[in-house]
Amino acid sequence: MSKQWGQILSIWVIVAVLAVWAIASQVALTAPEWFGTILAGSVALVSLYHLFRAKPEGIVRKLVYVGGGSYLILAIATAYVFLAS
């Protein structure tokens, strides 16, 4: 696995853990309010990484993969919250 995929997968894991935390610690209907913040944070994390890196190649691909995967994780979490309530 390339270094790029390791970073992308680690951000997806962080998003999934934060989504589970939001579901477990909040009232069922207020948990999705955190999901937008989590999604923005995942994209900001990629942007910050490339801001401090000397060679910014591949930023668009990482942004698309991280944003798309995070969006999918949070959409599944949202469906779970609405179906469980």
Whole-number pLDDT of residue 57: 79
1: pLDDT confidence band, cut at 50, 70 and 90? low
User: What's this model's pTM, rounded to 2 decimal places?
Assistant: 0.88
Please check whether residue 38 is in contact with residue 70, taking contact to mean a CB–CB distance below 8 angstroms: yes
- Total domains present in the chain: 1
Supply the range of the domain harboring residue 77: 3-84
The pair of structure tokens assigned to 51 is: 């801001």
Task: Give pLDDT tens digits for 8-65.
Answer: 999 999 999 999 999 988 777 788 889 999 999 999 998 888 888 877 778 888 899 9
**Number of CB atoms found within 10 A of residue 79's CB:** 10
- Contact between residue 23 and residue 31 where contact means Cβ atoms under 8 Å apart: yes
